[in-house]
Amino acid sequence: MSTKIIILGGGESGVGAALLAKQKGYDVFLSDGGKLKEIYRAELKQHAIDFEEGSHNAEKILSADEVIKSPGIPEKNEMVKAIRAKGIPIISEVEFAYRYKGNSKIVAITGSNGKSTTTALLYHICVTAGLDCALVGNIGYSFAKQVAEDPKEWYIAEISSFQLDDIKTFRADISILLNITEDHLDRYNYEFEKYIDAKFRVIENQTMNDYFIYCDDDEVITQRLTQLTLHTNPLPFSMKHEVKKGGYIKGDQMMIRIQEERVSMSIYDFALKGKHNHSNTMAAGIAACTIGIRKEKIREAVNNFHSLEHRMEFVAMVRGVEFINDSKATNVNSTWYALESMNKPTVLILGGTDKGNDYGLIAELVKEKVKTIICMGVDNSKIIAAFKDLVPVIIETDSAKKAVNTAFRSATKDDVVLLSPACASFDLFKNYEDRGTQFKEAVKEL
C-alpha cells in the first residue's frame, strides 16, 4: 500500500508539494479550508490529484501517514492541533522538496528584512555566470514544483521562519542569515526567543562542508552565536569593522575574502542604493564567491541588477515628485530601512493591519525626514498617537487612490512620496502585492 500524504493548504507551496508527491507515487490528498485560486484548481485536476476546498474532512486528514503543511497555517489551527494530537508527522514543503533534490545544492536565505532582495540578487549573479539554477521558496515559485518539473544543479531559496518551523533533515550547502528583528511574533506566542530559534534552524543540519554567512553587526545574531557550537564554516559580514574571512565595507569599498579568493568593489557601482542594500549586496557577493563564481561576473551582475517589485521600487516622477513603492514593508523595521535611505523631504504613506508595532523605532527618522504622514488603513489611531507631536500634518485615507492623490497634493517639487506601510495589508487589500499594484495604478493616473 502506498504511503498516504495529506497536504494542508492549496497555495503555491501546497500545490507544488502535491505535484511532487504524485510524481513520486504517493497516495495524495490536498485539503484547503478556503477557496482555491483557479490556476491551482486547474493544476490539481490536470494531474488527477484528489482535493477538497471550503472545509477539512477530519477523518480523511487524520488517516495520513504524513502531513505537508503550508507555511501560512499556524499551530493554533484546530486541524493542526488534531494532527499533532494523533502524532502524525508534519513537515514543510521545503523539507519534502529536499528529499528529492538529488545531488543539487541549495543556498538558503533567511532574515527578518531584505531576504527577497538578497535572494533575487544572488539568483541574478548566478544566471549572469551561466549557472544551472532556479529561484525558489518564499519568493514565488514552489521548491517542490521546481524539483518535480525542472530540476536544477543549484536552488537559490528564500526561506521564511514558518518554512523552517517544520524541517527535519533540510540542509543548505550555503545558508545566509541577514538580520533578526521582532516580526511575526503572533505566530511565536509573542516570545522573541522562539522566533530567533526558528531563524537559526537554517543552520541546524549543516556540516563542516557547508557555509554560514551572517551579519556580524546584528546583536541578536551575535548574542545567540555565543551560546552555540557551530558545525559549519562561519563567514561573517560587517558594515562596521574588518573581518578575516567573509566581507566588510571600508570607506567606499566592499571587500570579500574567501580562502584565497579576494573581491573588491566600489559601493558606488552597486545597482542597489542605501546602507541596508549594501549589506544585502555583500551577503549575496560572499555567497557567489563561495559557490565559485568569478569576480568579473559578480561585479557585472551587482552593477546591472534591477530591484524587485514592491521593494523600494521607483514608480514614476510626476512634476518633480518621486513616487516609491515599498509595499513589501509589512513591519516597522522594513520601514526604518526605507526611511534611512531617503535623502529628500518625504511624504510617508503608513498603515494597515498592525502586528503589534512599536513605532518608537522609527520616531527619530520620521522627525528628521518626514513632512507629512498619510494614513492608509481602517484603524489609524495608533499611528496618529505615535506621530502627532513629530509630524506637522497627518491625514487619514481609506484607499490607495485617495492616499496617492492626498500625498501628491501634500508634496512639492523635489519631494518623495514613499509607500512603506509598516503594517500587513489585509484590512483593505488582498496582500502586499495588491496594495503595491493599486498604489502604482493610482500614481499612473496622476
Ordered domains of the chain (ranges, CATH): 4-91 (3.40.50.720), 95-304 (3.40.1190.10), 313-445 (3.90.190.20)
- DSSP per residue, 408-425: HHH--TT-EEEE--SSBS
Residues 392-439: pLDDT tens digits?
999 999 999 999 999 999 999 999 999 999 998 888 999 999 999 999
Write out the three cell numbers for 154.
Answer: 543549484
CA 190 to each of CA 97, 194, 224, 333: distance values in angstroms, whole numbers, following the listed order? 30, 8, 18, 17
Contact between 97 and 165 (Cβ < 8 Å):
no
pLDDT higher than 80, residue 342: yes
Task: Please give the average per-residue pLDDT across 369-376, as a whole number.
Answer: 97
Residues 72-81: pLDDT tens digits?
899 999 999 9
Contact between 339 and 362 (Cβ < 8 Å):
yes
Residues 1-12: pLDDT tens digits?
689 999 999 999
When the pLDDT of each residue in the chain is averaged and rounded to a whole number, the result is 93
Task: Please give the average per-residue pLDDT across 173-181, as a whole number.
Answer: 96
* CA nearest neighbour of 437 among 399, 398, 396, 400: 400
| Torsion, CA 90, CA 92, CA 97, CA 103, rounded to 10 | -90
- Report the largest interatomic distance among the alpha carbons of the chain, rounded to a whole angstrom: 70
CA 302 to each of CA 16, 214, 255, 277, 285: distance values in angstroms, whole numbers, following the listed order? 31, 19, 14, 11, 8
Distance CA 143, CA 141 (A): 6
* CA nearest neighbour of 118 among 175, 149, 158: 158
Confidence of residue 272 (pLDDT cuts 50, 70, 90): confident
Return the number of other C-beta atoms located less than 10 Å from residue 409's C-beta. 11
| Torsion, CA 436, CA 438, CA 440, CA 442, rounded to 10 | -150
**The cell 545566509 sits on which residue?**
176
pLDDT higher than 70, residue 140: no
Return the number of other C-beta atoms located less than 10 Å from residue 95's C-beta. 20
Confidence of residue 190 (pLDDT cuts 50, 70, 90): confident
Q: Spell 261-294 as b/e; 16+ CB within 10 A means b.
A: eebebebeebebebebbbbbbbbbbbbbbbbebe
Q: In what order do the strands lie in the sheet with 370-376?
A: 313-318, 321-325, 416-419, 346-350, 370-376, 393-397
| Residue 53 identity (one-letter amino acid) | E
Q: What Rg, from alpha-carbon coordinates, does the chain have?
A: 22
Residue 300, pLDDT score? 92
CA 107 to each of CA 59, 135, 158: distance values in angstroms, whole numbers, following the listed order? 38, 10, 8
Confidence of residue 153 (pLDDT cuts 50, 70, 90): very high
Helix/strand/coil for 327: coil
Confidence of residue 312 (pLDDT cuts 50, 70, 90): confident
Task: Please give the average per-residue pLDDT across 203-221, as a whole number.
Answer: 97
**Helix ranges, 138-217 (H):** 143-149, 161-165, 192-200
Write out the three cell numbers for 178.
Answer: 541577514
Residues 19-47: pLDDT tens digits?
999 999 999 999 999 999 888 998 999 99
SS3 content of the chain, % helix, strand, coil (to 5): 40, 25, 40
Percent of the chain with pLDDT over 90: 78
Residues 6+ apart with CB under 8 A from 364: none
Task: Please give the average per-residue pLDDT across 133-141, as a whole number.
Answer: 87
Question: Positive or negative CA dihedral for 86, 87, 90, 96?
Answer: negative
